[in-house]
Amino acid sequence: MKEQEFLQELKEIQMLTEALGLLEWDSQTGMPEASSEFRGEVVGYLSGMAFERSVGPKVQEALAYFDTHTDELSEVGMSVYKKVKEEYELNHSIPAERMQAYNTALTNAHTAWLQARKSKDFNKMKAEIQTIIDFLKEFIPYWKKDEATNYDVLLNQYEPGLSVEKLDQIFEQLKIGIMEIRATIAEKGTVPRTDFLYRRVTKEQQRKFVSGIAEKIGYDFSRGRLDDTVHPFMLALNRTDARITTRWDENNFSMATFGVIHEAGHGIYEQSIDAKYDYTPLSTGASMGIHESQSLFNEIIIGSNKQFWKKQFPFFKECTEGTFDDIDFETFYDSLKETKASLVRIEADSLTYPLHIIIRYEIEKMIFNEDISVDELSQVWNDKYDEYLGIRPENDLEGIVQDVHWSGGSFGYFPSYALGYMYAAQLQHAMQKEIDVDNVLSSEDYSPIKNWLTQHIHQYGASRKPNQLILDATGEPLNPQYLIDYMKSIYYDVYKIKE
Amino acid sequence: MKEQEFLQELKEIQMLTEALGLLEWDSQTGMPEASSEFRGEVVGYLSGMAFERSVGPKVQEALAYFDTHTDELSEVGMSVYKKVKEEYELNHSIPAERMQAYNTALTNAHTAWLQARKSKDFNKMKAEIQTIIDFLKEFIPYWKKDEATNYDVLLNQYEPGLSVEKLDQIFEQLKIGIMEIRATIAEKGTVPRTDFLYRRVTKEQQRKFVSGIAEKIGYDFSRGRLDDTVHPFMLALNRTDARITTRWDENNFSMATFGVIHEAGHGIYEQSIDAKYDYTPLSTGASMGIHESQSLFNEIIIGSNKQFWKKQFPFFKECTEGTFDDIDFETFYDSLKETKASLVRIEADSLTYPLHIIIRYEIEKMIFNEDISVDELSQVWNDKYDEYLGIRPENDLEGIVQDVHWSGGSFGYFPSYALGYMYAAQLQHAMQKEIDVDNVLSSEDYSPIKNWLTQHIHQYGASRKPNQLILDATGEPLNPQYLIDYMKSIYYDVYKIKE
C-alpha cells in the first residue's frame, strides 16, 4: 500500500461527498417540489456508496498497513491517516444491524418531532426520544475510550478534547457573567429605540447591502454564491465552492443581514483551508465549535463593532434609498444590540443566546449522566427558562420541541454554539494584540482580520484539534472571561451604563 | 440472472447519470466561476464510473443471459434489454485505447474551435477536424450493420431507422418547397413592420410572460424550474425534475419568449414519459429528432399560430405594462413571423432554418461518402449559402466555424433539427383530425394538445424507434409536405399573399 493509493481512495470518497453536497444544496434551494422521491433515491444510493467505501477494504487495508509503517507517510499523509483512523473507529465500532436500526429510529423520531411541533406537545415524541437515548446509551460503551462520563463521549464527538468537568466550570462562569450583565442592564440600562428596524427594506436592497458586506469581510463570491432557502446554511463542496444561503424578511432587514454575515464566516473558513488538504477529510473545519467561532466572529464580533457600523452606515443608507434618513448613527447602532429574554433559541440576541445553550447542556448531562426520565424533561426545561431567563414557555413548541437536534440524535452538539461565542471573543482578544481591530474596521481594507484568522485557524482545516488551535492562536486554553468582557463593553455602551 | 438484478444495475447507472445531470446543470447556471477544476474532477470520476458500469460485467452477463432467455423478460424488461444491447454494442465495439485517443482528439478540437472562432479562420481547426473525421472513418466499420453508406451509419446514431437515400428525397422536396415560398414572398410579399420588437421589456416582465405561457402549454413547474444560462438547454434528471433554461435580452423579448417555449417542449416530453420506464435507459426521448419535434411543436406550431397569439396578446400587454399599447394585434403577430436570409443558424427564422440544416447535411455526406478534402470545406460552405440563401459569409465565423458540433464529433446530428420541424408539422396535421387546434388555442384549456402528444409520443420514452412513433401517430412515414404546407399558410398570411 502506497500513500498515493490511500489518498486516491479518499479522493474518490471525497468526490462522492461533493456530488452529495450539490444534491443537498439543490434540495434546500430550489429543487422542483415534486422530485423529492427521486432525490431521496439518488442521495441514498450515493451516500451508501460513500459510507461503504469509508469503512471498506481499501481503507481497512491502509489503516492496518500504516499502523506499522507510519514512517512511509508524508506530513499531510500522517494527519490524514490519524483523522481517517478516528472516523473509521467511530463508524465501525457499532454492529451494522444496530446502526441500521438506529437510523430507522431517527427517521421515526423526525416524523414524531414534526407531529409534536404541530400539536405543541412533547408527549407526541417522548417514546421516540427515549428510543434514541437508549440507542446512544447502548453505543457509548463502543465509542468510549478514556472519557470520564457517558456525556463526555457524546461531547467529544463534536468538540474533541473537551470534558464535562472543564465545560461545567466554563459554563458556570459564563452563566454568572451573563446574568450579572443582565441584572445591571435591568437595573440601570436605557432601552434603545428599535421601532425603525421593522421598516420595509426590499429583498433587492437587502441583497445589495449584505452581498457588499460579505465581500468586504472576505467572502469570495468567485468561489461561492448566495441563494434563498428556508433554513439558512453554508455548504462547501470544496474550497473553491462554498455556498451560503439566507432567508429574507422585508420587514426585518436585520435577519438576513446578520444571517448572511454569519454564513459568510463559515464560507470564508472553508474557502481558506490550505490546498494541500484538498480531497482529504482534513479539507473542512476542525469542529462544530471552531466552525461556529468563525461565523460568530463575523456575526457578534464584527457585527457588534461600533466602528464597523459607523463605516458601513453610509453604504446601508445608500442601499436602503432614504428609508432611514431620519435615523442618526448612534440610534441606528444601538437598535441592533437590543437584548431581551426570549423563549426561542434561534431568535435570541447575542447576550442571552449562551443561556439557551447552557440550559440544553445541563439537560443533556442529566439525561446521560444522571438518567433523568424523559417524562420529566418538559418540566425541567420550563423550570430552567424560568430560572435563567425569567420567562416560561406556554407550550412545548415554545419550549422543548423547538429544536430539531435531539430527534436527529445530536446530543452533545448544542455546546458547540456557545463554544463558538467564547472562541470568537478569545480570538478577538488575541488578534487585538497584533491588529487594532477598531482601526481596521474603520478602514477600507478589512483583509488584516481575515488574514489573521486564516493564518491562525482557517488554513489548518481539520488537521488540528480545537483545543490545540485555540491554544496556539491565543496562547491559552478556552477562557470564557473574554466573552463576558466583550459583552459587557458592547451592552453597557448601548444601554448607557457607566461602571 | 433475474430481470430484477439487471434492472437494479441499470437503476444504479441511471442514478449516477442523475447526479451528473445536476452537476452539469449547475455548471451551466451558476456554479462559482473559480470551481471549474474541482468540478471537472468530480464529473470525470462519476462519468467514468457510469461508463464502466454500462459496459461492465453485470451488464455483459445480463446481455449474454437474456440473449437466450428472452422468455424470462417482462414487456418493459424486453424493451430495456434491446436498448441496452444496442448501446452496449455501440460503446463496446471500438477498442478502448482508440476511444481514449478519440476523446483526446475531441478535447484538442474544441480548443482549436475556440481558436478558429477568435481568428474567424477555419484553417486554425482544419487539422483537428481532419483527425476527428479520420477517427470516425476508422470507427464506422465497427459500428456498421446493414447501412448502405458510411454516412448512414452516423445518421443512424441520432435517428435510428433513417437512411441517406430517404433523407436525400425528403430534403430535396423540402428545399424546393422552401425556395418556392421564399421566391413568392420576394416577388409579391408585403414585409411586416418589426421595429417595435426591440422595445425594452424588462427581464422580470419577460419572465412573467414566458413562465405563464410555458405553464399554459403544459410545462409543470412543480417538476421543473426556469434558470438563466448562456446557451439555453433543457436537462432532465428524471420525469419529476426536467429543468429548462434561457437567456434574456431586454431589447429583444422574442428571443427568450420563443426560447422558453422551445425548451418547455423538451421539458414536457421528459415530464410525460410513462413511470414504468423510471430508472431505465428508456426514460428519455426516442431520438434527437423526436425530441426536437416536441420543442419545435411548441416553437413553430403553437408559436406561429395566430389564434394562440390572439388569445395571449392581452396577457402579453398586461406583462409588458403599456409598452405595446400603440400596436394592434395583427401588426404584432406579423412582426413575429418575419423571414430573412441570414448566415447564422441559431438566429435563423423558421422558414429559412431548414436550409441551414440541408447545407450541413450535404457537406457531411460529401465528407463521409465522397471523401471531400477538409481544404475545400470552407469554400463549399460559402458557395452553398450563396446558392440556397443568396448571401455569402464574409469570414468563417459567419460561416463554417459557427457551430460547435463538428469539433465535438457530432457528424450526423444536424439533420435532427430539420427532422424535428417536419415531424412537428406532420404531427399537427394528424392531431388536427381529432382536435381543432385553432379552437383549443383560442380557449383557456390547452391540455388537449399536450394530452394528444403524450398519448402518441411522450409516454413511450425511448421504447419505440422514431419512424415507428411517427408512423403510429400519423398513419404514414415522414412526409415533408406538411411542413411546406404549414409554412406556406403561415408566411403567405403574414406577407399578405393570395394564391
Q: Which of A159, A263, A270, A364 is catalytic?
A: A263
Residue A18 to residue B26, Cβ atoms within 8 A: no
pLDDT of residue A277: 98
Rounded to a whole number of angstroms, the distance from the CA of A81 to the nearest CA of chain B is: 23
Q: Which residues of B touch A32 (CB under 8 A)?
A: 221-225, 240-241, 243
Nearest to B22 among A26, A220, A224 (CB): A26
Q: Which residues of B touch A241 (CB under 8 A)?
A: 31-32, 34-35, 38-39
- Chain B residue closest in CA terms to A278: B38
Report yes or no: A23 at the B interface, CB cutoff 8 Å. Answer: yes
| The CATH number of the domain covering residues in A144-499 | 1.10.1370.30
Cell of A147: 472519557
Query: What stretches of B218-284 adopt beta strand conformation (E)?
Result: 226-228, 234-238, 241-246
Q: Which residues of A touch B224 (CB under 8 A)?
A: 32
Ordered by start, the domain boundaries in chain A are 3-92, 144-499
Report yes or no: A22 at the B interface, CB cutoff 8 Å. Answer: yes
pLDDT for residue A331 is more than 80 = yes
Nearest to A38 among B26, B32, B237 (CB): B237
pLDDT band at A97 (very low <50, low <70, confident <90, very high): confident
Q: Is A138 an annotated catalytic residue?
A: no
Chosen from B8, B16, B38 to mutate, greatest number of chain A CBs within 10 A: B38
Nearest to A241 among B32, B46, B240 (CB): B32
pLDDT in tens, B138-155: 999 999 988 899 999 999
Report yes or no: A24 at the B interface, CB cutoff 8 Å. Answer: no
What are the two backbone dihedrals, phi and then psi, of residue B495, each rounded to the nearest 5 degrees?
-90, 10
Q: What angle do CA A7, A10, A12 make, to 5 degrees?
A: 115
Nearest to A41 among B15, B31, B220 (CB): B15
pLDDT band at A39 (very low <50, low <70, confident <90, very high): very high
pLDDT for residue A458 is more than 80 = yes
What are the residues facing A246 on neighbouring strands?
Answer: A228
Q: Is the dihedral of CA A119, A124, A126, A132 positive or negative?
A: negative
Helices and strands per DSSP (H, E), number in chain B: 20, 3
DSSP conformation letters of A41-60: HHHHHHHHHHHHHHTSHHHH
Rounded to a whole number of angstroms, the distance from the CA of A196 to the nearest CA of chain B is: 30
pLDDT for residue A499 is more than 80 = no
CA pair distance B381, B367, nearest whole angstrom: 12
| Antiparallel, parallel or unpaired: β B226-228 and A241-246 | unpaired
Q: Which residues of B touch A37 (CB under 8 A)?
A: 240
pLDDT of residue A336: 97
Contact (Cβ atoms closer than 8 angstroms) between residue A29 and residue A230? no
Report yes or no: B232 at the A interface, CB cutoff 8 Å. Answer: no
pLDDT of residue A467: 95
How close are the terminal C-alpha atoms of chain B, in Å? 66
Q: Which residues of B touch A18 (CB under 8 A)?
A: 38, 42
Residue A32 to residue B240, Cβ atoms within 8 A: yes
Rounded to a whole number of angstroms, the distance from the CA of B279 to the nearest CA of chain A is: 10
pLDDT higher at B498 or A319: A319
What are the two backbone dihedrals, phi and then psi, of residue B262, each rounded to the nearest 5 degrees?
-60, -55
CA pair distance A167, A151, nearest whole angstrom: 11
DSSP class of residue B236 equals E
Nearest to B241 among A35, A46, A238 (CB): A35
Nearest to B32 among A15, A34, A224 (CB): A224
pLDDT in tens, A422-437: 999 999 999 999 999 9
Annotated binding site of B: 262, 266, 292
CA pair distance A8, A437, nearest whole angstrom: 42
Rounded to a whole number of angstroms, the distance from the CA of B208 to the nearest CA of chain A is: 18
* A467: Cα separation from own chain's centroid: 16
pLDDT in tens, chain B (499 residues): 799 999 999 999 999 999 999 999 999 998 999 999 999 999 999 999 998 999 899 999 999 999 999 999 999 999 999 999 999 988 788 888 898 899 899 989 999 999 999 999 999 999 999 999 999 999 999 999 888 999 999 999 999 999 999 999 999 999 999 999 999 999 999 999 999 999 999 999 999 999 999 999 999 999 999 999 988 999 999 999 999 999 999 999 999 999 999 999 999 999 999 999 999 999 999 999 999 999 999 999 999 999 999 999 999 999 999 999 999 999 999 999 999 999 999 999 999 999 999 999 999 999 999 989 999 999 999 999 999 999 999 999 999 999 999 999 999 999 999 999 999 999 999 999 999 999 999 999 999 999 999 999 999 999 999 999 999 999 999 999 999 999 999 999 999 998 7
Cell of B29: 447556471
What number is the average pLDDT over the span A78-93?
A: 91
Give the alpha-carbon dihedral of A120, A124, A125, A128, to 10 degrees: -170
- Chain B residue closest in CA terms to A20: B19
Spell out the alpha helix ranges (H) of A93-149.
96-119, 123-143
Chosen from A35, A215, A278 to mutate, greatest number of chain B CBs within 10 A: A35
Rounded to a whole number of angstroms, the distance from the CA of A454 to the nearest CA of chain B is: 19
Cell of B328: 394592434
Rounded to a whole number of angstroms, the distance from the CA of B240 to the nearest CA of chain A is: 5
CA pair distance B298, B320, nearest whole angstrom: 22
Residue A241 to residue B12, Cβ atoms within 8 A: no
Region class of B144: left (phi > 0), else alpha (psi between -120 and 50), else beta: beta
Report yes or no: B15 at the A interface, CB cutoff 8 Å. Answer: yes
